[in-house]
């Protein structure tokens, strides 16, 4: 079947298409219905079906002859250590950890927050939850205690799993201290915390609450998999929306397992036994899907890398890992390649390594600029595949599906909609725009299996954020167009979300923090173009009229406040104080216009602006930070 036939098959016969894909998963009970539309727009996949995701990711491979195949390789240049686990070893470690969780009172349906660095125990924690039917919610380590507290209050975990520290290049991040601060702040309190003591930092344990990981595992019994309904939640993953309140994306067990496995073979062309490396973090959706679940469901070997593309120790780090572990396919964000290109523009480091096993590079997480794509292609001499997806979908909405048929590559486009996704571009009135014209990118319901089923504790929010704008369609939040070859072009977000080094952040959340500073009357945060990270946040603050303090005192306070409230991952390092914000006569802040000024791109003077002179003032202020052109 070629790509078009496969796509058409998924659209015209979704039931048989996905039933066929589901045959590759082991079910305890076969589904009654492939797609249950009775409660639309809340669709359910494989209703009546029962399975266990951990069983499918580990146990069944042991039963099918892969017991001694490497399942997971941990490679950590920041601690100068490496470790490999066969499927048997990983399963045994996971089963015992699951037993420890059980002993702590964790049962099917309970939530477990995982706030951990990139160590094998983090993947084990996710799989142990899946094994006993607990719903995990991994929180990225680069978030501050405040953000962790918000997520604890929303997910209400019975238990939190954490480690004594994370390591950012040479800096130790005291995860346990951040966790303690978050629990202090949160209204909800977990019964216990299971703490993995890393050799680099020994944490103080809180009596009656904290339990030592290794000791708990030494005393626990291995526990078997629990059968889950296909529609039971596997995990919650919080992502940024327009406000400071993150959205808890809920993923099911059945649809997710089917989509993960299908994507591994059909999008990435990765077979059981192949070595797959997603250079991301388990705290992001890429890490959930392609460090942990998909490669293991597929019987492949996954790499968990605790390091950076540069500086650990040099820009040859990725090539070293590829050679050493015979990686076949790498998936990362374009920003990682921009970082390598910046430090080693001629690819000199690559010459030291043998990449003969390497087949393909996949990029996603942000727009892939054609220069970076071309640079990577020339350097590596393998296909470089841009693909587009988001936390909500959990896997690619648009891609060049190498496992089906390699389509011509158009740099700047993530190629075509993946089978199962009916992607359309609509105008503000809900009409389809003509080919080549920009509009709101939507997906006609129902979406392929594996996509979010709802938002945690917030069905109404799910409808408001994604389904209300256009009846019968899911709003992706991205704007773009489809060309006459059916290729998609993703141009920008339509909301207040910005993308910093492949990390999705909300300018609304930044603004809430800046507004809480006692000297700030009002503010705006915009995403400005950055050669390395794609976008960077930039704050513009108007002070209260009675503030007489020096700006040079206030600006560092604003920067520190965002770091404290959101975290280092916000990369918020630039702010200016201005007299007034440009607004329309109805009071809407002209963020888009300010962004164009900062990026020095053309913009139309908004007809409804209350006072055009303000834009000149903004231009002057932004020039002090090196933006808004040089003339
Ligand atoms: N725990 C604690 N702090 C973290 C962290 C974690 N897990 N991850 C990042 N941080 C910190 C960093 O140390 C940095 O702090 P600093 O301001 O004190 O320097 C800050 O958060 C920003 O981190 P990052 O965005 O990673 O920037 P960087 O300058 O350290 O590295 C890149 C830049 C391009 C090398 C890096 O962003 C990268 O490797 N990106 C790969 C893409 C990726 O993983 N995308 C995820 C989705 S696919
Ligand atoms: P996240 O949910 O953090 O994965 O972020 C998803 C968002 O990142 C998407 O909605 C897009 O705005 C952006 N994005 C991801 N992949 C791509 C891509 N290949 N091209 C353009 N934008 C992308």
CB within 8 Å of 202: residues ≥ 6 apart: 164
For ligand 2, whether the C-beta of 247 sits within 6 Å is: no
pLDDT at 618 > cutoff 70: yes
pLDDT band at 612 (very low <50, low <70, confident <90, very high): confident
Q: What Å distances lie between residue 433 and 521, 593, 600, CA to CA?
A: 41, 24, 29
Q: To test the ligand 2 pocket, which listed residue (267, 280, 367) has its Cβ within 8 A of the most ligand atoms?
A: 367
Q: What is the mean pLDDT of residues 271-284?
A: 98
Q: What mean pLDDT is reported for the chain?
A: 96
> Which residue ranges does the chain devote to CATH 3.40.50.12780?
3-307+387-467
Buried b (16+ CB within 10 A) or exposed e, 159-171: bbbbbbbbbbeee
* Letter string b/e over residues 493-516, b meaning 16 or more CB atoms within 10 A of that residue's CB: bbbbbbbbbbbbbbbbbbbbbbee
- Edge to edge, what strands does the sheet with 233-239 contain? 210-212, 192-196, 159-163, 111-115, 135-138, 233-239, 247-252, 454-455
Q: Is the CB of 14 under 6 A from ligand 2?
A: no
Q: In this structure, what token pair is assigned to residue 107? A: 């049962």
Ligand nearest to the CA of 148: 1
Q: Which residues of 588-612 are buried (b: 16+ CB within 10 A; e: fewer)?
A: ebbbebbbbbbbeeeeeebeebeee
Q: What is the rounded average pLDDT of the residues 163-173?
A: 96
Looking at ligand 2, which residue's alpha carbon is closest to its atom 10?
Answer: 390
pLDDT digits (tens, 9 = 90+) for 524-568: 999 999 999 999 999 999 999 999 999 999 999 999 999 999 999
The 10s digit of each residue's pLDDT in 28-46 is 999 999 999 999 999 999 9
- Closest ligand 1 atom to residue 117 Cα is 7
Q: Over pLDDT 90: what percentage of the chain?
A: 95
Round to the nearest angstrom and report the end-to-end CA distance of the chain.
56
How many angstroms separate the alpha carbon of residue 336 from the centre of ligand 2? 15
The answer to whether 126 touches 282, Cβ cutoff 8 Å, is yes
Rounded to the nearest whole angstrom, what is the distance from the C-alpha of residue 442 to the centroid of ligand 1?
Answer: 30
Q: How far is the CA of 515 from the centre of ligand 1 (A)?
A: 25
Which is the closest atom of ligand 2 to the Cα of 284? Answer: 3
Cβ neighbours of 318 (radius 10 Å): 27
pLDDT tens digits, 314-330: 999 999 999 999 999 99
CATH 3.30.300.30 residue ranges for the chain = 500-623
Q: Which CATH class is domain 500-623?
A: alpha beta
- Please determine, for residue 607, whether its predicted confidence score (pLDDT) is greater than 90: no
Residue 631 pLDDT > 60: no
Q: Cα(569) to centroid of ligand 1, in Å?
A: 6
Q: Is the CB of 280 under 6 A from ligand 1?
A: yes
- In sequence order, what are the residues at sequence separation of 6 or more whose Cβ sits closer than 8 angstroms to the Cβ of residue 403? 265, 266, 267, 268, 269, 270
Nearest ligand 1 atom, CA 501: 37
Query: Cα(532) to centroid of ligand 2, in Å?
Result: 16
Return d(Cα 272, Cα 297) in angstroms, integer: 9
Question: Lowest-pLDDT range, 173-187, 432-446, 506-520, 604-618?
Answer: 604-618
- Does the structure show a pLDDT above 90 at 587? no
Q: What is the pLDDT of residue 608?
A: 76
**What confidence tens digit (pLDDT) does each residue in 437-458 have?**
999 999 999 999 999 999 999 9
For residue 365 and ligand 2, the question of a CB distance below 6 A is answered with yes
Residue 629 has pLDDT above 90, yes or no: no
Contact assessment for residue 287 and residue 296, using Cβ atoms and an 8 Å cutoff:
no
Query: pLDDT (tens digit, 9 = 90+) per residue, 73-114?
Result: 999 999 999 999 999 999 999 999 999 999 999 999 999 999
Q: Work out the pLDDT band at 630, boundaries 50, 70, 90.
A: low
- Considering only CA atoms, which residue is closest to atom 4 of ligand 1? 142
Specify the ligand 2 atom closest to the Cα of 490: 21
pLDDT, one tens digit per residue, over 107-162 is 999 999 999 999 999 999 999 999 999 999 999 999 999 999 999 999 999 999 99
Cβ of residue 289 lying under 6 Å from some atom of ligand 1: no
199 pLDDT more than 80: yes
Q: Which atom of ligand 1 is nearest to the CA of 335?
A: 34
DSSP letters for 365-391: SS---HHHHHHHHHHH-S-EEE-B--T
In this predicted structure, which of 151-165, 455-469, 474-488, 615-629 has the lowest mean pLDDT? 615-629
- C-alpha span between 92 and 222 (Å, rounded): 7
pLDDT of amino acid 515: 96
State pLDDT tens for residues 390-410: 999 999 999 999 999 999 999
Most ligand 2 atoms within 8 A of CB, residue of 478, 527, 533 to mutate: 478
What pLDDT shows up at residue 368?
Answer: 94
The half-sphere exposure of 380 on its side-chain side, counting CA atoms within 13 A, is 28
Give, to the nearest 10 degrees, the angle between helix 175-185 and helix 145-155.
Answer: 60
Q: Using CA positions, which residue lies closest to atom 31 of ligand 1? A: 308
Maximum Cα–Cα distance for the chain, whole Å? 74
Nearest atom, ligand 2, residue 391 CA: 2
Residue nearest to atom 44 of ligand 1 (CA): 280
CATH 3.40.50.12780 fits 3-307+387-467, yes or no: yes
H or E stretch at 151: helix 145-155
Give the Cα separation of 148 and 103 in Å (integer).
25
pLDDT at 101: 98
- Does the beta carbon of 571 sit less than 6 angstroms from any atom of ligand 1? yes
**Cα–Cα distance between 271 and 289 in angstroms, integer?**
16
Residue 574 has pLDDT above 80, yes or no: yes
Cα 252 to the center of its chain, rounded Å: 17
Q: Which ligand is nearest to the CA of 173?
A: 1
């Amino acid at each position: 079947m070629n790509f078009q036939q496969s796509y058409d098959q998924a659209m015209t016969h979704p039931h048989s298409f996905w039933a066929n894909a589901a045959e590759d998963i082991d079910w305890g009970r076969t589904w009654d219905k492939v797609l249950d539309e009775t409660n639309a727009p809340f669709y359910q996949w494989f209703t009546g079906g029962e399975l266990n995701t951990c069983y499918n990711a580990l146990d069944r491979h042991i039963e099918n002859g892969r017991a001694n195949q490497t399942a997971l390789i941990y490679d950590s240049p920041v601690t100068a250590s490496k470790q490999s686990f066969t499927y048997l070893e990983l399963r045994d470690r996971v089963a015992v950890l699951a037993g420890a969780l059980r002993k702590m009172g964790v049962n099917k349906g309970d939530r477990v927050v995982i706030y951990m660095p990139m160590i094998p125990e983090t993947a084990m924690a996710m799989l142990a939850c899946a094994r006993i039917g607990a719903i995990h919610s991994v929180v990225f380590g680069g978030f501050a205690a405040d953000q962790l507290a918000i997520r604890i209050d929303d997910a209400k975990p019975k238990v939190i799993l954490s480690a004594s520290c994370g390591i950012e290049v040479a800096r130790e991040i005291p995860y346990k201290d951040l966790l303690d601060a978050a629990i202090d702040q949160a209204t909800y309190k977990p019964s216990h915390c299971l703490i993995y003591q890393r050799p680099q930092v020994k944490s103080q344990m809180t009596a009656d609450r904290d339990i030592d990981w290794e000791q708990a595992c030494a005393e626990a019994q291995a526990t078997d998999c629990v059968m889950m309904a296909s529609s039971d939640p596997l995990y919650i993953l919080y992502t940024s929306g327009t406000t400071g309140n993150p959205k808890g994306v809920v993923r099911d067990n059945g649809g997710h397992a089917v989509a993960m496995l299908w994507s591994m073979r059909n999008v990435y062309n990765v077979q059981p036994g192949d070595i797959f490396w997603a250079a991301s973090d388990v705290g992001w959706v890429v890490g959930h899907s392609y460090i942990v679940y998909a490669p293991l469901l597929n019987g492949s070997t996954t790499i968990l890398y605790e390091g950076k593309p540069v500086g650990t120790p040099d820009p040859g780090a990725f090539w070293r890992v590829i050679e050493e572990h015979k990686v076949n396919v790498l998936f990362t964000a374009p920003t990682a390649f921009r970082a390598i290109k910046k430090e080693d523009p001629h690819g000199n480091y690559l010459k030291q390594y043998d990449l003969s096993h390497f087949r393909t590079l996949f990029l996603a997480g942000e727009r892939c600029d054609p220069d970076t794509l071309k640079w990577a292609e020339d350097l590596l001499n393998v296909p470089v595949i841009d693909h587009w997806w988001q936390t909500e979908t959990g896997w690619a909405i648009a891609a060049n599906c190498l496992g089906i048929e390699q389509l011509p590559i158009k740099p700047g486009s993530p190629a075509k909609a993946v089978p199962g996704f009916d992607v359309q571009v609509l105008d503000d009135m809900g009409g389809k725009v003509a080919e080549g014209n920009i509009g709101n990118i939507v997906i006609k319901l129902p979406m392929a299996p594996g996509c979010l089923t709802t938002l945690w504790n917030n069905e109404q929010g799910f409808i408001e954020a994604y389904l209300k704008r256009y009846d019968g369609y899911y709003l992706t939040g991205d704007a773009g167009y489809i060309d006459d070859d059916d290729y998609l072009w993703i141009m920008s977000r339509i909301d207040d979300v910005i993308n910093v080094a492949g990390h999705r952040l909300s300018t609304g959340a930044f603004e809430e923090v800046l507004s809480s500073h006692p000297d700030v009357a009002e503010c705006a945060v915009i995403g400005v173009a950055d050669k390395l990270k794609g976008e960077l946040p930039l704050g513009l603050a108007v002070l209260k009229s009675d503030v007489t303090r020096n700006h040079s005192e206030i600006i560092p306070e604003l920067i520190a406040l965002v770091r404290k409230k959101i975290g280092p991952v916000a990369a918020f390092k630039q702010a200016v104080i201005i007299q007034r914000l440009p607004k329309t006569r109805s009071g809407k802040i002209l963020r888009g216009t300010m962004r164009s000024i900062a990026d020095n791109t053309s913009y139309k003077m908004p007809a409804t602006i209350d006072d055009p002179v303000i834009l000149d003032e903004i231009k002057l202020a932004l020039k002090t930070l090196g933006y808004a052109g040089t003339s």
